[in-house]
Structure 1
Amino acid sequence: MKALLNVYSKIMDVIDKILRVIVGIAMVVMVIVIFYQVILRYVFNASNIWSEELARYLMCYSVLLGAAIAVRKYSHLQVDFVINMLPARGRCIAVSLCTLVGIGFLGFFCQYGITLCATTGHSISAGTGLPMSVAYACLPIGSVLMILMSVEVILRELVKFQELGHKKKGVQA
C-alpha cells in the first residue's frame, strides 16, 4: 500500500506543480486585466466588454484549481472538533469516510458541470467571444482534480492506519 501511495504521490506532485503555475499565471493575468479595466474606465473614461468577463472566468478557474491544491494539503476550512477527539486510528477512518463523502459530492458536481458544458456549448460569450462551455469547463476539470487529490488523501490515511496498527502490535513497518 505504501509503495502505491509513493507512486501516486509523485504523480500528484507533478499535477500539483502544474496547477500552482496555472493558478499563479491566472491570478497575475486577472490582476493585470482588472488594473487595465480600472485605468481605462477612470482615467480615460472608456471601457471594454471583455475584461470583466475574462477576469470572472479566470477567478472561477483559480478557485476551482486552487481548491484541488487545498484538498491535497488539508487546507480547506473544516470543523474537526469531533475528529480530533477520536483515537489516532479512528481519525484515519473518519477522515477517509468524510473524504469518500466528498468524492461522492464531487462526482455529482462533475456530472453537473459536464451537462452544463454540453448544453451551453453553442452559446458564445458576449465579451470574450469564447464558447460558454469553456467558461463552465472549470466545474468538471476542478472536480476531477479534487477527486484525484482526495484519492491521495484516502491512501495516506490508509497507510497511516496500517502503520498505527503495526506500531500497536509492536511490529516495525
Structure 2
Amino acid sequence: MTAIERASAGLDRACLILAKLALGGMVLAVLLQIVARYVFDYPFIWTEELARYLMVWAGLLGATCAFRRNLDPVILRVPADAARVRIVITSIVLAATVLIFLGPILYHAFYGSNGTLARGFLMRAANRTSPGLGLNMALVSSIVPICCTILLIHLAARVVKGPTEQDQE
C-alpha cells in the first residue's frame, strides 16, 4: 500500500467518524427542538440552524466516503470482463471529470472571479455570522474546500491503485 493509499484510508476513517457524529448531532438537535417546542412551549432559535449545518457537514463528508468506496452515482458501469483499454479509458474519463468538477470549486473557495483572495468564497463567508449560533460562516463553509481536497486525495489513491474489479461492479 502506497503512502497516498494510506492517507486516503485514514482520511476515509476520519470522515466516516465525523459524518456519523454530525448525523447524531443533527438528530439530537432536532429532538431537542421538538421537546423544547411541544413540551416546554419554548423553542430554541439555534437548534434548526445547528441541525442544518450538521446536515451539510454530514452530507459532504459522507460523499467523500461514498466516492472512496465507489458507491457514488455513475452513468455507466463497465463490466469486470471488459477490455483493458475500455477500463483504462473509463478511469481516465472519471479522473478528468472529477478534476474538471472540483478544480473550479476549490479555486473559487479561495479566490474570487477577479483572482483576489478577498473575493473568494471563504473570505466572503468570514465576513458573515450565523444569526442563531453566532458562528463565523467561514467555519461552516470550510467543509467545501476540505471535502474537495479529500476527494482529490481519494482520486489520486484510486489512480495509483489502478482499476480493480470493485470499480467495475
TM range (shorter): 0.7 to 0.9
CA shift at 1:54, angstroms?
A: 0.9
Letter in 1 for 2:125: T
Return the match for 1:31 from 24, 27, 30.
27
For 1:38 and 1:103, locate their aligned partners in 2 and report how far apart those are by CA, in whole Å: 42
Q: How many residues end up aligned between the 2 structures?
A: 154
TM-score by length of 1: 0.81
Gap regions ≥5 residues in structure 1: 161-173
Equivalence for 1:9 = 5
Whether the 8 Å contact between 1:70 and 1:76 is mirrored in structure 2 is yes
- Contact 2:19–2:61 (CA under 8 A) maintained in structure 1: yes
* 2:144 matches 1:148: no
The match for 2:144 among 129, 139, 142 is 139
Question: Cα distance, 1:140 vs. partner?
Answer: 0.8
**RMSD of the alignment, in Å?**
1.9
Q: How does 1:1-173 map to 2 (within 5 A)?
A: 6-81=2-77, 83-84=78-79, 86-114=82-110, 115-157=120-162
The residue aligned with 1:165 is none
| Local SS of the residue matching 1:46 | coil
For structure 2, list consecutive stretches of 5 or more residues without a partner in the other structure: 111-119, 165-169
Alignment check: 8 A CA contact 1:34 1:52 kept: yes
DSSP-derived class of the 2:162 partner: helix
Residue by residue over 1:27-68, the C-alpha shift from the partner in whole angstroms, topping out at 9 and shown as x without a partner, is 111111111011111222221111111111111111111111
CA distance in 2, matches of 1:153, 1:147: 10
Deviation at 1:96, TM superposition (A): 2.6
Using a 3 Å threshold, how does the CA distance of structure 1 residues 40 and 33 change in structure 2: closer, same or farther? same
Q: Deviations over 1:61-87 (max 9, x none)?
A: 111111111111111011215x44952
Q: Give the structure with the higher percent helix.
A: 1
TM-score (norm 2): 0.82
